[in-house]
């Protein structure tokens, strides 16, 4: 991927420069049930010989934990059920030192749950039930609006209702906040949301879903990402797993290579990337986007070398020590 078209002295998208280091993540919390297997089962197949582990997860929780561990003052807005796993999750938030004042417990509702199969190469497939995550409505978000508007960076994903994602994006845009949207799990977005997005962070498959365009190579990825810029997005970072990441702005594109890693579990790779990205941008703004991407890649390389989701996330000192 040729980075020659990227102009390093181009002004940052939307001119966003922040310095208070505050991140608000709005998203899902799940209880992850992880089964580590020699290979992923195909339809009708049973694969035995695996290890079972359960832990805190969910794209929102993973990204909030990553931003917190990266050093940002992090607020997390999410919903839990009133079941046993919710108590375990709150205990893990306390252990992490991640404040829980943005968490709402929903009566008579199960906590979101993910069943994750991980093979010997660290690749995974996931089944998910939203549970209490479905209760994170625009009305509930309005009750927590002070936690959103005080942030430098607002980070969103797609494991909560789309109407809430759109509402949060609209609020953040109106406040002039830097908004990161990680469009995962892959699904189409309402056209009106693009104008509110500072930074969109799809992987290759999510980029194809958003645009309906092929993404098999660098040329196709650039074309698809450019189509999102035309919709109003300020910048796109396409995460490419073992191939690194690609930044696309109106000034051009730049490829960032991956760091070598002994891959154990890729479950939290994208969430680690997004959380670290949010934390660095909260401290330094979009003017430092290239350094932010480099740090996020380094953090993700550590995360994939460990099993689990939140438990795999590195602390900032581990990343800087590389």
* Catalytic residue set: 271
Residues in Cβ contact with 189 at an 8 Å cutoff, skipping those fewer than 6 apart: 162, 183, 210
To the nearest 10 degrees (0 to 180), the angle between helices 269-284 and 59-69 is 50
Q: Which residues are annotated as a binding site?
A: 30-32, 58-62, 159, 203, 239-244, 265, 267, 270-271, 303, 306, 308, 312
Residue tagged 């290979």 (tokens): 39
Q: Which residues are annotated as a binding site for substrate?
A: 30-32, 58-62, 159, 271
At 224, list the tokens: 């698809």
Peptide bond just before 151 cis, omega within 30 deg: no
DSSP 249: E
3-state secondary structure of 155: strand
On whether the CB atoms of residues 26 and 74 are closer than 8 A, the answer is no
Cα distances from 112 to residues 35, 82, 131, in angstroms, run 17, 11, 4
On whether the CB atoms of residues 156 and 181 are closer than 8 A, the answer is yes
Residues in Cβ contact with 14 at an 8 Å cutoff, skipping those fewer than 6 apart: 178, 198, 234, 286
Cα(113)–Cα(132) distance, rounded to whole angstroms?
A: 9
Cα distances from 310 to residues 14, 63, 121, in angstroms, run 32, 9, 19
């Amino acid at each position: 991927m040729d980075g020659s078209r990227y102009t390093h002295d181009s002004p940052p998208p939307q001119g966003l420069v922040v310095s208070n280091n505050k991140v608000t993540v709005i998203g899902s919390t799940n209880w992850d049930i992880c089964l580590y297997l020699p290979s992923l089962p195909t339809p009708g197949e049973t694969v035995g010989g695996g290890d079972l582990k359960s832990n805190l997860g969910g794209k929102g929780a993973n990204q909030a934990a990553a931003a917190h561990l990266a050093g940002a003052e992090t607020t997390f807005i999410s919903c839990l059920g009133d079941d046993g796993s919710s108590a375990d999750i709150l205990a893990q938030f306390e252990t992490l030192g991640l404040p829980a004042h943005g968490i709402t417990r929903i009566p008579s509702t199960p906590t979101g749950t993910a069943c994750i199969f991980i093979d010997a190469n660290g690749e995974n497939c996931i089944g998910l039930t939203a549970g209490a995550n479905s209760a994170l409505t625009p009305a509930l978000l309005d009750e927590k609006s002070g936690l959103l508007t005080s942030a430098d960076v607002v980070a969103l994903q797609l494991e909560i209702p789309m109407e809430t994602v759109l509402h949060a994006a609209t609020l953040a845009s109106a406040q002039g906040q830097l908004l990161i949207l990680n469009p995962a799990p892959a699904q189409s977005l309402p056209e009106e949301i693009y104008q509110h997005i500072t930074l969109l962070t799809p992987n290759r498959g999510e980029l194809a879903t958003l645009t309906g365009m092929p993404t098999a190579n660098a040329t196709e990825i650039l074309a698809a990402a450019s189509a999102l810029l035309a919709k109003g997005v300020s910048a796109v970072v396409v995460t490419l797993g073992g191939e690194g990441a690609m930044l696309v702005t109106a000034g051009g594109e730049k490829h960032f290579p991956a760091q070598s890693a002994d891959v154990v579990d890729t479950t939290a790779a994208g969430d680690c990337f997004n959380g670290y990205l949010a934390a660095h941008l909260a401290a330094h703004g979009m003017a430092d986007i290239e350094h932010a991407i480099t740090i996020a890649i380094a953090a993700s390389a550590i995360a994939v070398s460990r099993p689990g989701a939140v438990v795999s996330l590195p602390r900032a000192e581990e990343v800087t020590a590389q």
